[in-house]
Amino acid sequence: ARYEESAFRIVLKQVRLLTRAPVLESIQEARRLCNGAGVALSLVEPLSKARLSGAAWWLSAHRPVIALSARHKTDDHLWFSLFHEAAHILLHSKKSVFVAGADGGGNDIEAEANAWASNVLVPRADWRGFVQLGTYTRGAVLRFAEEQGIAPGIVVGSLQHEGLLPWSHLNRLKVRLRWTAR
């Protein structure tokens, strides 16, 4: 299919809701939906010693590509990477190749993609309200994830990334991923 920005934006709303489903089925459905909007979505096995989570580029003026490596092996990173790379497709130059993961991104374009992905996964006003409560128990995280319609691992990962929850806490709410030979 030819790329349609408006269709891709709608697809991303659908994909956000897929984060609650089992990852294998939901990523396959995400691939199908993205393809329907003209975006090729590919999962690639992480290269050893390559610190890459994802990449986005344009094969042509009408065919963007998103590749995800799942190098962190958890659902929260996989979904965040997908939305981060989608931000590059929607917001940034068609002439650039965007690679995420090497240093977490220190430039404005990477920061913009991070902010966009975060806001799509959890709207900032909702996030601020949750954070202001200051209760990051398993139950609170599960309730907030349910209210948002997203996987609990995404909430845990966001809390950890923002330094509100130690990296060792609530990791059982994340889904562990592993590559298997087919």
In the chain, the number of structural domains is 2
- Considering the domain architecture, whether residues 22 and 111 belong to the same structural domain is answered as yes
Q: 154: closest CA among 26, 10, 3? A: 26
Co-location of 135 and 92 in the same domain: no
Question: Residue 181 domain-assigned?
Answer: no
On whether residue 70 sits in a domain, the answer given is yes
Task: Check whether residue 106 and residue 134 sit in a common domain.
Answer: no
Same domain for 151 and 108: no
Averaged pLDDT for residues 103-124: 86
**Domain residues for 128?**
123-174
Whether residue 112 is found in the same domain as residue 27:
yes
Report the mean per-residue pLDDT for the chain.
90
- Predicted local distance difference test score (pLDDT) of residue 31: 96
167: in domain: yes
What's the pLDDT tens digit per position in 136-173?
999 999 999 999 999 999 999 999 999 999 999 999 99
pLDDT at 106: 56
Q: Are residues 169 and 157 in the same domain?
A: yes
Say yes or no: 140 and 110 in one domain: no
Q: What is the pLDDT of residues 11-20, one digit of tens each?
A: 999 999 999 9
Task: Report pLDDT digits (tens) over 68-113.
Answer: 986 668 899 999 999 999 999 999 877 776 776 544 455 888 899 9
Its sign, for the CA torsion 130, 135, 136, 140, is negative
Residue 23, classed as helix, strand or coil, is helix
